[in-house]
Structure 1
Amino acid sequence: MTAPSGATLDDAVPSRKEGWIALADAIARTPPDRLDMTALGRLSEQARADYDRQRRIWHANIGPLRTPQMADIHEDLWDILDSNAHDGDKVKGAAAIDAFPGLGKTTIALTFAREFHRREVAAFGRYTADGHEHLPVCRVGLGANTTIKALNQAILTFYGHPSAGRYSSSTTAQLAAQALDCIVSCRTRLVVVDDVHFLDVRSRDGLEVSNHLKWLANEFPVTFLFVGVSLRERGLMSEGMTSSEQAMAQTARRWTRLTLHPFRIADDTSRAAWRALLLGIERNLVLARLQPGVVADELSGYLFARTTGHIGSLMTLINRGAQRAVRRGEETLSVELLDTVKIDEGAENARAPLQAALDSGRLTPQARSLRAPAHAGS
């Protein structure tokens, strides 16, 4: 994406309205021209430096790619948000994207929020009837040991309200009322709360914040979208209650839990989805020696073993590999080059058994239609 005039995306912070608007309004980036080695060699030193800088930025920002996982969750989110168009006296259901790290849950949430922001601005304009900024989306992130006051201040920080400062004399109740005023005045309809897993509902502060989120969902005319890791296991779906009480937990009745899974290659359908993802990545790489099929076919099994099908690990490996390929002048991706690139510990630790299964033929990344035909008599 490219920032609108007067804004830059490299320092845009989505937890503040200016940063969020820059991200939401950004237009799609245009990739650098794909030059061959001869054309690269003709560039002057300055032109080559500029070209490589463009490629650094491009490769660092590939995507977001519309995966089947993203499409499915977006469909569910549109159902939830559009069905919440009832009057303000009715409690609106919330959504929670609950998945392990590295599966793209934050990207999926923010991509959806961006689409919603654009739809609402297109329908109602950039200002409300009262002359306030129209901000369809508010995005906040939770930190460790978040308190009710800190949560309210995070909401106010997004809107740039003066009471957001750490030395504000406003009480917790006053901060909540001010947050509601901002949401109503700016016609906000979606509040994204990221890193909800930082809440420990078995601690006093964590349970109080969880209850406060429930109160906000009851009182504010918005849909809440919560994003986090292992929310059910952490008790956030049951409000920390005992097993006999969980069935009646109000949060569990009002939160729709949406989950994400890594890519798999257990059957032809999942293999086709994996290959489609790699093809999308391959089309976005601007490397002079990269040939069609290298990423999607030749490196398919290797990339699956290296990343265990986690899109976060995959995009990190591709980005870092492309940067190294440009710096070294190799201008393509290969097993030898990618083996020198380090990524997250979780992916590295899980690599060996997957590689063994691929090497033995017990697992294959290729769908039947793409496999080489068997020799006669075999």
Structure 2
Amino acid sequence: MAPLPPEDVECLHPGLAEPRMKEDWFAYVFYDPPSRPFLPSYEVYLAMDGAERRRLNRIRNRYHSALVLAWTPAVQHFETEITELLAANEMAPPGARLGLLIDGPPTVGKSTLVKMIARKFEQELREDFPERFVPERLGSYVPVVYISLTDQVTPKQISLAIARYLNVPTSGTKDTIDDRVLTALTASGTQLIIFDDLHFLDCSLKEGRASNDHIKFLANHAPCTIVGTGVDLENSPLLSEGGPIGPRTKSARPKSPASGPRTQTAGRFSRQELAPFALDSNDRILQWVAVIRSLESSLALYQHKEESLTRRHWRYLHERTDGSIAGLHALIRRSAVRAVQQGTEAITREIMDSIVLSYAHERAYAKVTELKSRQAATEAKKQSQKQRAADGTA
């Protein structure tokens, strides 16, 4: 088979993967999402032959799949928190530096948020200190380390993950690897370490408690700011020795952090919550609507009515996604692709209703619709009673 021309080679890669090594992270930092494709007139589009139209549709689907997460007030808040921590820790004396834990339910966008902020941090470093990124130093200066933890992670696995990320040899004992990792973090000029999915530190198990201690060890000895994300961290033994017993041990009632002594991690990390969008004030409603508008204005569809989602369906989109930014992006991306494939060329309520989101989102929406049905039935009953009373009076 003849090789693809150079301009098509990029298309062999399906997209960005979760960073596991510094090269993966650099790819994310340098990555530019597909630009909005040029759309010929609708008449020209309809007159295209099958191959031409399929090629344009594929380009549009690629573009819609990469719609960028909006820089919401929550992202802006955590950007301020993280950049302030980085500045406060940069030349701090030896010892544990201040860290941050971002706690919240699944699908609110914690992982995406920290990657966005870290990416911007490194991009600004590249702009402000280009001499640190000259070709002969490329790869030796690694300001950001991003580690996504796995289930029941052990201290050695944490060090191995950092070692692989930095291309450090992984043979030898845990102490040997730890020494290499600490040396590499210093030599690489690492300023920010992100531990994603910290809830996988099941601290009720022996290895889990040791992993908690290992995070403390890194905070003590690595000259870096550590930011962690996770689910229900407030009630985890990461912050308290009195946390719940893990799923593979004997069951017990979960204890609150106040029921046990605080860990050293609790004294060195602040905890802040990232919650789903709530429509509990005019300001929050306007923020939610602004997120929808930013996504809707980016659509490359022929028949979509301008701001129809923003003006007509903002509350439905909140109910449908339970206020989850990740759910909102998933619904709009899927709907845009389906609108192209089905030829409707517009995201409508019917299109959105036909999309099946995650189990959690669908279950939450089912509860909303059930509650609305009960309220409608109650209201209809009241109206019927009023009508019968009025008829009797007459």
Identify the TM-score tier after normalising by the shorter chain. 0.7 to 0.9
For residue 100 of structure 1, the aligned residue among 90, 95, 105 is 105
Does 227-236 or 83-92 show the bigger shift? Answer: 83-92
Does 26-35 or 338-347 show the bigger shift? Answer: 26-35
Does 123-132 or 67-76 show the bigger shift? Answer: 123-132
Q: Measure, in 2, the Cα distance between the counterparts of 1:36 and 1:274.
A: 32
Q: Measure, in 2, the Cα distance between the counterparts of 1:299 and 1:221.
A: 48
Q: Which residue is equivalent to 2:183?
A: 181
Task: Give the secondary-structure state (helix, strand or coil) at the position aligned to 1:232.
Answer: helix
Q: Measure, in 1, the Cα distance between the counterparts of 2:266 and 2:351.
A: 47
CA deviation after TM superposition for structure 1 residue 193, in Å? 0.7
The letter for the 1-side match of 2:233 is: L
CA deviation after TM superposition for structure 1 residue 88, in Å? 4.5
Q: Measure, in 2, the Cα distance between the counterparts of 1:48 and 1:99.
A: 43
Residue pair 1:14, 1:139 contacting (<8 A) in 2 also? yes
Q: Aligned pair 1:42/2:47, yes or no?
A: yes
Task: Give the secondary-structure state (helix, strand or coil) at the position aligned to 2:34.
Answer: coil
CA deviation after TM superposition for structure 1 residue 51, in Å? 1.3
CA deviation after TM superposition for structure 1 residue 282, in Å? 0.4
Q: Which residue is equivalent to 1:157?
A: 164
Does 153-162 or 211-220 show the bigger shift? Answer: 153-162
Q: Measure, in 2, the Cα distance between the counterparts of 1:87 and 1:64.
A: 33
Q: Which residue is equivalent to 2:346?
A: 332
Residue pair 2:242, 2:260 contacting (<8 A) in 1 also? no
For the structure 1 residues 356 and 36, does the alpha-carbon distance in structure 2 shift closer, same or farther, using more than 3 Å as the test? farther
Q: Which residue is equivalent to 1:52?
A: 57
Q: Aligned pair 1:255/2:269, yes or no?
A: yes
Q: Measure, in 2, the Cα distance between the counterparts of 1:7 and 1:117.
A: 27
For residue 18 of structure 1, the aligned residue among 2, 20, 23 is 23
Q: Measure, in 2, the Cα distance between the counterparts of 1:283 and 1:57.
A: 17
Q: Which residue is equivalent to 2:133?
A: 126
Residue by residue over 1:93-126, the C-alpha shift from the partner in whole angstroms, topping out at 9 and shown as x without a partner, is 1111111111110011000110111222333321
For residue 275 of structure 1, the aligned residue among 278, 284, 289 is 289
The letter for the 2-side match of 1:154 is: A
CA deviation after TM superposition for structure 1 residue 298, in Å? 1.7
The letter for the 2-side match of 1:93 is: L
Q: Aligned pair 1:32/2:37, yes or no?
A: yes
Q: Measure, in 1, the Cα distance between the counterparts of 2:139 and 2:354.
A: 52
Residue pair 1:117, 1:135 contacting (<8 A) in 2 also? no
The letter for the 1-side match of 2:38 is: D
Q: Which residue is equivalent to 1:143?
A: 150
For the structure 1 residues 283 and 132, does the alpha-carbon distance in structure 2 shift closer, same or farther, using more than 3 Å as the test? closer
The letter for the 1-side match of 2:227 is: L
Q: Measure, in 2, the Cα distance between the counterparts of 1:295 and 1:6.
A: 31
Larger helix fraction of residues: 2
Q: Which residue is equivalent to 1:367?
A: none
Q: Measure, in 2, the Cα distance between the counterparts of 1:339 and 1:66.
A: 26
For the structure 1 residues 291 and 357, does the alpha-carbon distance in structure 2 shift closer, same or farther, using more than 3 Å as the test? farther
For residue 266 of structure 1, the aligned residue among 275, 280, 293 is 280
Q: Measure, in 1, the Cα distance between the counterparts of 2:112 and 2:318.
A: 20
User: Higher Cα Rg: structure 1 or 2?
Assistant: 2
The letter for the 2-side match of 1:313 is: G
For the structure 1 residues 76 and 110, does the alpha-carbon distance in structure 2 shift closer, same or farther, using more than 3 Å as the test? same
Residue pair 1:239, 1:251 contacting (<8 A) in 2 also? no
Q: Aligned pair 1:76/2:90, yes or no?
A: no
Q: Measure, in 2, the Cα distance between the counterparts of 1:191 and 1:127.
A: 23
For residue 286 of structure 1, the aligned residue among 291, 300, 314 is 300
CA deviation after TM superposition for structure 1 residue 130, in Å? 7.8
For the structure 1 residues 107 and 271, does the alpha-carbon distance in structure 2 shift closer, same or farther, using more than 3 Å as the test? same
Q: Measure, in 2, the Cα distance between the counterparts of 1:6 and 1:225.
A: 34
The letter for the 2-side match of 1:142 is: L
For the structure 1 residues 344 and 149, does the alpha-carbon distance in structure 2 shift closer, same or farther, using more than 3 Å as the test? same
Residue pair 1:121, 1:136 contacting (<8 A) in 2 also? no
Task: Give the secondary-structure state (helix, strand or coil) at the position aligned to 1:146.
Answer: coil
Q: Measure, in 2, the Cα distance between the counterparts of 1:311 and 1:321.
A: 15
- TM-score, reference length from structure 2: 0.83
Residue by residue over 1:296-318, the C-alpha shift from the partner in whole angstroms, topping out at 9 and shown as x without a partner, is 01222221221111111111111
Q: Which residue is equivalent to 2:319?
A: 305
The letter for the 2-side match of 1:106 is: S
Flag structure 1 segments of 5+ consecutive residues without an equivalent: 362-378
Task: Give the secondary-structure state (helix, strand or coil) at the position aligned to 1:192.
Answer: strand
For residue 219 of structure 1, the aligned residue among 202, 218, 221 is 221
Paired residues, what number?
Answer: 351
The letter for the 2-side match of 1:195 is: D
Q: Measure, in 2, the Cα distance between the counterparts of 1:206 and 1:190.
A: 23
Residue pair 1:8, 1:22 contacting (<8 A) in 2 also? no
Flag structure 2 segments of 5+ consecutive residues without an equivalent: 1-9, 244-256, 377-394
Residue pair 1:73, 1:258 contacting (<8 A) in 2 also? no
For the structure 1 residues 102 and 332, does the alpha-carbon distance in structure 2 shift closer, same or farther, using more than 3 Å as the test? same
Q: Measure, in 2, the Cα distance between the counterparts of 1:218 and 1:65.
A: 35
Residue pair 1:307, 1:314 contacting (<8 A) in 2 also? yes
Q: Measure, in 2, the Cα distance between the counterparts of 1:270 and 1:111.
A: 22
Task: Give the secondary-structure state (helix, strand or coil) at the position aligned to 2:233.
Answer: coil
CA deviation after TM superposition for structure 1 residue 357, in Å? 6.9
Q: Measure, in 1, the Cα distance between the counterparts of 2:175 and 2:367.
A: 54
